[in-house]
Structure 1
Amino acid sequence: MIQISLLSSSAKADSLAYQLAYAAQAVAAVRAGHALPQALAQIFARSDAPAASRGAIQDLSYRAMRGLGLSDALLALLANKPPQPEVLHGLLVSALALLADEDEAGYDSFTVVNQAVEAAAISPEMSFAKGVVNAILRRFLRERATLMPQATKTPPGTWNYPTWWIDRLKSAYPEDWQRILHVGNQPPPLTLRVNRRRATVEQYLATLTAAGMQARQVGPSAVRLDKPVPVQQIPGFAEGVVSVQDAAAQLAAPLLDVADGMRVLDACAAPGGKTGHLLELADLDLVALDHDPRRLQRIDENLARLQLTARLSTGDAREDDWWDGQPFDRILADVPCTASGIVRRHPDIRWLRRKTDTTQLATLSAQILDKLWHMLRPDGKLLLVTCSLWPQESEQQAIAFAQKHNAIRLPAPGQLLPTAGGDADHDGLFYALFQKTGA
C-alpha cells in the first residue's frame, strides 16, 4: 500500500514547493518498492493537483530517478546520517536533481532551495525538517565545486545506476556500455505509429506540419515529434490515426507476417500497442491474453479508439485453461523481463530491480514459451520479444528454446541496443522469430 499524505491547505498548486512535496512522496514510494507510474497515479487520484501541476510533479519525479545515484552520493557527503523519513529523502534528492543540473532544469538555485524548504513546511511528515533541508541544500551550493568531484568517484555517482547494473552492461557490451548508460539517462522521445489503414507517413507528417509541429520519420510507420506534447494535443490521436509506440516496438507486428483470416494470439498483451498494430496490418481472428482484467480494460480502450476489435481473454500464459484448443497461425510472445532496455522511459526500474530478478524472470518466460509452443499450428510462427538487454533473458533464452523444441529460427533483428537522436531513436528490445516444423 502506497502512503499518500495530503499537503496543508496553504499549499499553492502552481508553486514549485507543491510540486516538490508530491514528487518527494513519489520518490519515497519507489524506495519502498513501488513502481513510479503506480505511485504517481495514486498521488493524482488522492490529491487535488490540477493538470499543469501533475505534469510538473511527474517531470520532477522522473528527473529525481534519473539522478538518484548522484543525489545519494551527494547526500552521503552532506548529511551525517541517511535522511528520515523516506519522504524527506525524496524531497532532498528531488531538489538536488534540479540543483546539480541547473541549466537543464530551468530553475535558479536559490528558488529551488527556498521552494524545497517551503515543501517541507507544507508536508505533515516533514515540517520538523525545514532547517535540515535549508542547511543541506545551501551547503551544497557553497561547496558544489568540491562536492561534485567527490560524489562522482563511485560508479553510481557517475552514471546514476546501481553498480551491479553497470558491471553487467560492461560484461555484456564491452564496447557499448557507456553509450547505453548515457542513452538510458535521456528523457525519452514521443514516437507515434501511423495507422496505415487511415494515413501514410507522408500524409501524417504533412498534418503535423500544418499543425505547427516538427517531426521526422524514424521507422517504417514511426514518427518522432521534435517536442513531446500531451496526447490530447496530438493531431488524429483521438480518432485513431496514430498511437504512441516506440520505434523498436513497432517492429514486432510486421515480423509475424500476418494475413487476413489468420488466427493470432497476442500473449501478455497489455497495454495493447502491439495488439493494435497487428489489427492495423490485417483482418485477424485475434485473441489478446493478459492475466490482469484491469490491464485488459486498457487494451479494450485502445482498440476502441482505433475502431478495431479483438477477443480479450483473462488467463495465465503458463497455463492453457483459457484456451479453446484451436491452434494459432501466429503467436506474439512479449514475455515478462527485467525491462532493462526501456529505462529511459522508466528510470525507476534500475532502482527497483535486483541481480536475482534476471534468473527468476528468464525461468518464468521459458515456462510461458513452452506452453505457447504447443498452441501453435505446424508451420506457424512464434515471435519472442523482450525489452531486456540481458542475454540470459534474450539470446540465451532464444538458443535454449530453439534447441528444446527443434524450432526453426527465422531472420529477425535479434538484440537492438537503445539509441537516441538522428534517424534511429528507439529503446532496447530483443526479437527472435521461430517456425514450427510441419506435422
Structure 2
Amino acid sequence: MTRKPPAPHRPRPSPAAPVSESRLSALHLAPDSLGFALDCAAQAVGAVRAGAALPAALQSIFSSVRSGGVELSRGAVQDLAYTTMRRLAAADWLIAQRVHKAPPPHVGNLLTCAFALLLTRDDETPPYTPFTVVDQAVEAVGARREFAFAKGLVNAVLRGFLRERDVLVAQLQSDDVAHWNYPQWWLDAAKRASPDAWQTVLAAGNVQGPLTLRVNARRTTVDAYLQLLREHGIGAVQAGAHAVRLDAPLPVERVPGFADGVVSVQDAGAQLAAPLLDARDGMRVLDACAAPGGKTGHLLELADVDVIALESDASRASRIGENLQRLKLAADVRIGDAGDPAAWHDGEPFDRILADVPCSASGIVRRHPDIRWLRRASDIPALVDGQRRILGALWPLLKPGGELLYVTCSIFPEEGELQAQWFGKQYQDAVRLDAPGQLLPTAARVPVDASAGSLAGHDTGQHADHDGFFYARFQKR
C-alpha cells in the first residue's frame, strides 16, 4: 500500500478514549443525517488506528451523544464504521493517490469513511447515492470550525474519484493490500496457511456474517422453531444440528423467543464445540476462558452437567451470568486465569475440559473487521506461548479417561494444527481423537472452493456459512 495507517498497531487494544459530549453536541448536524454518521464513524476509525477495539470506540461515542441522537444515529454509525474497517486499506490507498499532503487525522478518517461508502461491490445496492455521500461529507467537515478549511479539499477529492472511478478502481487491484483490505503480514500468513484457498478465506472475511441462532434443545426443536419464524414472516434455513440462519439480520429484540431463552446468537462453527465435547449427565465440566458464555449455555442445554465457567476478566465474566439467566440455566462462574489453577481450582478433577483459548481471532474477522488492523505478526508467537501455558495447566486437572477439547477461532496453523501436534508430543498420555481440525471461514455470498473447509459432516447439507475455527480433541490415557 502506498501509505500506511498513521497509528501503530497494538497486540492488545486499549480502551477507547472518551469522546466529550461538547465535541459532539457542537456539531450543527441532524443526528439522523449521513453527515452526523460520517463524523462519528470517523472518530471511531481514529480510535481504532490508535489501538482501540471498534466496539469500545463506538460505545464511547454513543455514550457521549445526547439522548435522542443515539437512537437516531446508532445503526447508521455502526454500519458505516464496520464497513470502513472492511475497506480501510482501499480507502487509504485512494486518499494517498488524491491527496499530496496528508490532511488532519479527523479529516482523513472522514474521507476514509466516505470512500468506504463509494466503494460498493457489484452485488451491493449502495445505501446512498454518490451525490449524497459527497454532499454530506462536505457538510460534516464544515460542521467543525477547526476543519472548515478542508471543505474544498473533501469536495474535490471525492468528486475527482467519481470522475475517474473506473480507472482508479482498476489501478487499486494491482496493490494486494488495497485490493484485499488486510495488512501485508496477514496476506502472507493466509497464503502460507491455505495456499489453495487463501483467496476464498480472505473474501469471506470481507463479507458481513449472517445472524445464526442456536436453538435451545431443552425448549424446542429446529423444525418447530423454523415454523415459528415462518409464522412471523421471517425467512431462515437450518444450518447445523441446532443452528438456524436467518435470511436477513434482525435486532435480537425482534428475534422470536430470544428474550425467553428459546434461542441464542451463535455462529454455526462455534456450535460444534458442545457436541464435540460430548459431556453427559452427571459429568463435571470446565469451560475455561468461558466469556461471554455461549458455549457454556450450549453445554447445559445438551446435558445435566456440573459446569465451572472460568473467565479471567471480571467484566466479561458478568456476561456469562447474564446469558445463563436468560436461558434459565446455572453454572459456577469463577474469575481466574486458566493458566494458574492454584488460584481457583478446588482440587476435584474434571470429566471434560473445554479449552477455548485466547487467540488471534483471525477466523472471526468478518464479524470483527477491526481485528486485522489491531493485530501484528509478532502477536502470533506470544499467543502461541499463552495457549501452551493454559493447556499445560489444564491437562493435569483432567481425569484419566476424560477428554479435553482445544478450540481457537483462528485460521493460522500456529494456533491450530501445529499447536495440536505440539500437545500430542508434549504429553505422552494424550490420545488424539476425531475432530474437524481446521474449519476455514466460508460465506454464502462469496464463491466457496471445495477445499475451503466445511462443517466436516456436522452440518445438515445446507450451504456452509460459518466463521473460522480449529478443533482438536484429546483423551487422557
TM-score class, shorter-chain normalisation, is: over 0.9
Q: CA deviation at 1:10?
A: 2.6
Give 1:214-363 correspondences, 5 Å limit: 214-320=235-341, 321-363=343-385
Counterpart CA distance in 2 for 1:264 and 1:330 is 5
Correspondent of 1:373 among 373, 395, 416 = 395
Q: CA deviation at 1:373?
A: 0.6
Match of 1:30 in 2: 48
Match of 1:46 in 2: 64
2:17 corresponds to which letter in structure 1? I
Q: Show structure 2 runs of 5+ residues with no match.
A: 1-15, 445-461
> Is 2:44 the partner of 1:21?
no
> Is 2:17 the partner of 1:2?
yes
Secondary structure of the residue aligned to 1:435 is strand
Match of 2:103 in 1: 83
For the Cα contact (< 8 Å) 1:7–1:122, is it kept in 2?
no
Counterpart CA distance in 1 for 2:145 and 2:176 is 35
Q: CA deviation at 1:142?
A: 1.9
Return the TM-score normalized by structure 1.
0.97
1:37 corresponds to which letter in structure 2? P
Match of 1:416 in 2: 439
Q: CA deviation at 1:156?
A: 1.1
For the Cα contact (< 8 Å) 2:411–2:438, is it kept in 1?
yes
Q: CA deviation at 1:13?
A: 0.9
Q: CA deviation at 1:124?
A: 5.8
Q: CA deviation at 1:283?
A: 1.4
Q: CA deviation at 1:82?
A: 2.8
What count of residue pairs does the alignment treat as equivalent?
436
Counterpart CA distance in 2 for 1:314 and 1:197 is 27
Return the TM-score normalized by structure 2.
0.89
Greater Cα offset, 258-267 or 248-257:
258-267
Give 1:124-273 correspondences, 5 Å limit: 126-273=147-294
Q: CA deviation at 1:278?
A: 0.4
Greater Cα offset, 87-96 or 206-215:
87-96
Counterpart CA distance in 2 for 1:124 and 1:235 is 47
Counterpart CA distance in 2 for 1:41 and 1:35 is 10
Q: CA deviation at 1:129?
A: 2.3
For the Cα contact (< 8 Å) 2:27–2:144, is it kept in 1?
no
For the Cα contact (< 8 Å) 2:18–2:61, is it kept in 1?
no
Q: CA deviation at 1:205?
A: 0.1
Change (3 A) 1:104 1:67: farther
Match of 2:93 in 1: 73
Counterpart CA distance in 1 for 2:285 and 2:145 is 53
Secondary structure of the residue aligned to 2:437 is strand
Secondary structure of the residue aligned to 2:125 is helix
Q: CA deviation at 1:154?
A: 0.7
Change (3 A) 1:369 1:341: same
Secondary structure of the residue aligned to 1:12 is coil
User: Which 4+ stretches in 1 moved above 3 angstroms?
Assistant: 123-128
Counterpart CA distance in 1 for 2:399 and 2:27 is 62
Secondary structure of the residue aligned to 2:29 is coil
Change (3 A) 1:409 1:50: same
Counterpart CA distance in 2 for 1:104 and 1:362 is 41
For the Cα contact (< 8 Å) 1:340–1:389, is it kept in 2?
yes
Counterpart CA distance in 1 for 2:314 and 2:147 is 38
Q: Which has the higher contact order (CA 8 A, sep 6+)?
A: 2
Match of 1:430 in 2: 470
Q: CA deviation at 1:7?
A: 3.9
Q: CA deviation at 1:146?
A: 2.3
For the Cα contact (< 8 Å) 2:201–2:441, is it kept in 1?
yes
Counterpart CA distance in 1 for 2:232 and 2:157 is 46
2:194 corresponds to which letter in structure 1? Y
Counterpart CA distance in 2 for 1:123 and 1:235 is 43
For the Cα contact (< 8 Å) 2:324–2:330, is it kept in 1?
yes
1:115 corresponds to which letter in structure 2? Q
Percentage identity across paired residues of the two chains: 57
Q: CA deviation at 1:125?
A: 5.5
Correspondent of 2:113 among 74, 80, 94 = 94
Q: CA deviation at 1:3?
A: 4.5
Change (3 A) 1:336 1:350: same
Correspondent of 1:393 among 415, 420, 442 = 415
RMSD: 1.3
Correspondent of 1:405 among 400, 424, 427 = 427
Counterpart CA distance in 2 for 1:380 and 1:124 is 65
Counterpart CA distance in 1 for 2:72 and 2:182 is 30
Q: CA deviation at 1:138?
A: 1.5
